[in-house]
Amino acid sequence: MRIVTLEEHVSFPEMTALLPEEILKNRKQSGAALQMQEKLADITGERLTSMKAAGISMQVLSVENTDVYLLPDSLAPAFAAKYNDLLADKISSHSDAFAAFAMLPMTVPEAAADELERAVKTHGFCGAMIKGLINGVFLDAPKFAPVFACAEKLGVPLYIHPGIPPKEVIDAYYSNVGDTKGPNEAIACYGWGWHSETAIHILRLLAAGIFDKYPQLNIIIGHMGEMLPMMWERSNRVFQPGNNGKNQRTLIETFRKQLYITTSGIFTQPPLQIAIDTIGIDNILFSIDYPFSSNQMGIDFLTKAALPAEQLAKMAHGNADRILKF
């Protein structure tokens, strides 16, 4: 069976070396990312070998870091373009195994829209990945409208991935746990915090009317829906049209038409069943979160999924083929 995964990360040290010294001093990465630098930089070595061993047909690659957000507006667009060009070059000799999401200079939204269009039309990228808040600002801010408009026009999805929370949030919610001083990264990031923040991000887009303004826009989020399936019915009751937001449709109607989730990093059956019962099998795409999860972990989960063959095929590749136009 064809298997496509689409939350799979890369980070190239040759691009990090191009950052100004003052940026490098303030650059922050999660501890997990720091431990995975060698794997993140690799494409055709261990990554490809493990894909073949696990039976994975294609990975959609995306840049793991948020370096482009740290750069001044005068430098960010060129840096993003160079990163996308390098990624395109690295995957060009294995186009059957790899596709890519573009890195966008989101601090300069007009330039981000231009780079999205260039990456799609020039390199055949299948959308873009946006990492968390943009220097503390959620994507429902009006200034990001050009990016949504461009993605809708091109017919490509935007993948909203968690990012490290703002310092103010880390200080307030995730620091000084018990008698331990400083932030607790596991609570703030991959153990809880940035997942719930991504759910908040999607709810803000709903309440701000972004999905209604761009009715053909598709948004993807990972980690089995970033907690949204668990809150599905309650959130739907709260976010009714005319309550506290600008949304013209219910949460359920909106999300089933425009929101897609991946399985990245969540490899047990109960969350999958909740996702199927809420957002539905047509909106679920298989992903692994490589290298933070191994390809074999993901495949073991997929092969054990107690699903009819038709549903398994949709999750393994059919939905991705349809949304990403493979």
Distances (CA, A) of 117 to 10, 92, 169, 306: 21, 19, 33, 40
The values of phi and psi at residue 100, to 5°, are -155, 150
pLDDT score recorded for residue 296 = 96
Whole-model pTM: value is 0.97
Q: Active site includes 289? A: yes
309 Cβ partners below 8 Å, 6+ apart? none
Q: Are 109 and 142 in contact (CB under 8 A)?
A: no
Strands (E), the chain: 4-10, 58-63, 98-100, 128-131, 158-161, 219-221, 259-262, 284-285
pLDDT score recorded for residue 71 = 95
> Structurally, how many domains does the chain consist of?
1
Closest CA to 323 of 174, 211, 156: 156
Per the DSSP assignment, residues forming a β-bridge with 59 are 5, 98
The values of phi and psi at residue 289, to 5°, are 80, 40
One pLDDT digit (tens) per residue for the chain, 326 residues: 999 999 999 999 999 999 998 888 777 777 777 888 999 999 999 999 999 999 999 999 999 999 999 999 999 999 999 999 999 999 999 999 999 999 999 999 999 999 999 999 999 999 999 999 999 999 999 999 999 999 999 999 999 999 999 999 999 999 999 999 999 999 999 999 999 999 999 999 999 999 999 999 999 999 999 999 999 999 999 999 999 899 999 999 999 999 999 999 999 999 999 999 999 999 999 999 999 999 999 999 999 999 999 999 999 999 999 999 99
pLDDT score recorded for residue 239 = 96
Q: How far is the C-alpha of 46 from the C-alpha of 39, rounded, in Å? A: 8
Structure tokens at 192: 């809880």
Catalytic-role residue among 67, 114, 140, 289: 289
Closest CA to 30 of 173, 170, 185: 185
Residues present in the chain in total: 326
pLDDT score recorded for residue 21 = 86
Task: Name the CA dihedral angle for 256, 118, 45, 17, rounded to a multiple of 10 degrees.
Answer: -120
The values of phi and psi at residue 173, to 5°, are -110, -30
pLDDT score recorded for residue 38 = 93
Residue 158: give its domain's CATH number.
3.20.20.140
Helices 193-207 & 251-258, crossing angle to 10 degrees?
110
Question: Where in the sequence is the domain holding 239, given as residue range(s)?
Answer: 4-324
Beta-carbon neighbour count of residue 12 at 10 Å? 18
